[in-house]
Amino acid sequence: METSKRKLDHIKICLEEEVETGYTGLEDVMLIHKALPEVNFDEIDTRKRFFHKELNFPFFIASMTGGHPNTKEINKNLAIAVEEEGIGMGVGSQRAAIEDKSLEESFTVVREFAPKAFIYANIGIPQLLERGVEVVDRAIEMIDADAVAIHLNFLQECIQPEGSLKAKGGIEVIEEVCNSVSVPVIVKETGGGISREVALKLKEIGVDAIDVGGKGGTTFSGVETFRVKDETLRDLGRDFWEWGIPTAFSIVDCHGILPIIATGGIRSGLDVAKCLAIGAEVASSALPFLKAAVNGSEEVRKKIKYFERGLKTTMFLTGCKKVSELKRVRIFVNGSFRRWLEFRNFNIEKFMFKR
């Protein structure tokens, strides 16, 4: 029950405390306004196909919760809204239900109320290293998943008093998953971002997509800071609060290697549009939807519609009729993001005008 209780602790902390970092890199990206868009708002098509399913707009509610009886209603509300609005979602780490079968219902409720939506399973790399690839099959089967995410959360593990700090063999076990499962494999970070070097290795071993999980949204170093009693770990959590590769940096680093899901501080449809413009295929967000989900599925739907309207408005103001056209929108980049592009030897002028 230790894992299950920890899941509830995380939810409580995220709802009650300030657990976000600051800079995502998207602050330094400006999409150039087109005063004469030459497209009608009602003609704009936000649909996007991701793997084998079509989304009404390229957006997921990111992996959040499950694994405690009290989280069942949250996942139910998320699933109802996702199904009705035609997007996708991930479940939280399924470790607790793999350890205790009685907790499966907190996850199976998602597929029950979202029978047609794109739903991805979720298991952590520490559990793979400990238990082997059979846990992935169980996670997929549990929710009839369309894909599975292997999450990387070693920063969080460093701050957890019960954290697993064994990372050796991670690449090998992910490759084994890629060679054994029948659904696409997504590797996702949880706030630290994924670099180009790691993305290239993931492509080499057969991973199908990357969720960059960049710095800028919820910091699980921060979340653990509110939970741990050990003073040293609490101080470490504060020291590493801002650790990681900002979301925008990670998107451009991984672009052209594998399909990208942009997660990490995505808080509006404008943020979604910026992510798509610089290289992502889909964007996702968690924290704003957790806060909505505790108040019911209708609140989640309202939040989804806010993100969708923001994306569509951005497309209108940049003259884009389809989401794919955002990658051809002229942009202006500045600040630390520009310096990152220089560090990575991008041709910045070309990047701003043609990506």
Rounded Cα gap, residues 134 and 231, in angstroms: 37
- What amino acid occupies position 108? T
Banded pLDDT at 354 (limits 50, 70, 90): confident
Evaluate whether 132 touches 154 at the Cβ level (below 8 Å).
no
Cα separations in angstroms, 125 against 75, 156, 190: 23, 12, 12
Phi-psi region of 51 (alpha: psi -120 to 50; beta: other; left: phi over 0): left
User: In this structure, is the dihedral angle defined by the CA atoms of residues 51, 87, 63 and 155, taken in order, positive or negative?
Assistant: positive
If one counts every other C-beta atom within 10 angstroms of the C-beta of residue 15, the result is: 12
Cα separations in angstroms, 262 against 33, 44, 123, 211: 23, 22, 19, 6
Q: What is the pTM of this model?
A: 0.96
Is the per-residue pLDDT at 113 higher than 70?
yes
Residues 6+ apart with CB under 8 A from 103: 4, 66, 67, 68, 69, 96, 97
Q: What b/e string do you get for 192-203 counting C-beta neighbours within 10 Å, with b at 16 or more?
A: bbbbbebbebbe
Q: In this predicted structure, what is the pLDDT of residue 6?
A: 80
Evaluate whether 119 touches 111 at the Cβ level (below 8 Å).
yes
What are 317-353's pLDDT values in tens digits? 999 999 999 999 999 999 999 999 999 999 999 999 8
Is the per-residue pLDDT at 355 higher than 90?
no
Q: In this predicted structure, what is the pLDDT of residue 7?
A: 79
CATH code (residue 119): 3.20.20.70
Is the per-residue pLDDT at 256 higher than 70?
yes
Is the per-residue pLDDT at 143 higher than 90?
yes
User: What is the β-pairing status of strands 331-333 and 29-31?
Assistant: antiparallel
Rounded Cα gap, residues 115 and 246, in angstroms: 34
Total domains present in the chain: 1
Q: In this predicted structure, what is the pLDDT of residue 274?
A: 98
Q: Which domain holds residue 10?
A: 2-353
Report the half-sphere exposure of 247 (CA within 13 A, side-chain side): 35
Cα separations in angstroms, 315 against 95, 164, 193, 275: 39, 44, 27, 13
Q: What is the DSSP letter of 246?
A: B
What are 287-327's pLDDT values in tens digits? 999 999 999 999 999 999 999 999 999 999 999 999 999 99
> Which two tokens mark 133?
């690839």
What are 163-204's pLDDT values in tens digits? 899 999 999 999 999 999 999 999 999 999 999 999 999 999
Residues 6+ apart with CB under 8 A from 348: 333, 338, 341, 342
User: What is the β-pairing status of strands 260-263 and 282-285?
Assistant: parallel
Rounded Cα gap, residues 230 and 93, in angstroms: 25
- According to DSSP H, which parts of 114-191 are helical? 125-131, 134-143, 154-159, 170-180
Mean pLDDT in the chain? Answer: 96
Rounded Cα gap, residues 136 and 187, in angstroms: 13
Is the per-residue pLDDT at 1 higher than 70?
no
Average pLDDT over residues 11-18: 92
> Which two tokens mark 342?
């220089």
Rounded Cα gap, residues 246 and 102, in angstroms: 38
What are 216-239's pLDDT values in tens digits? 999 999 999 999 999 999 999 999
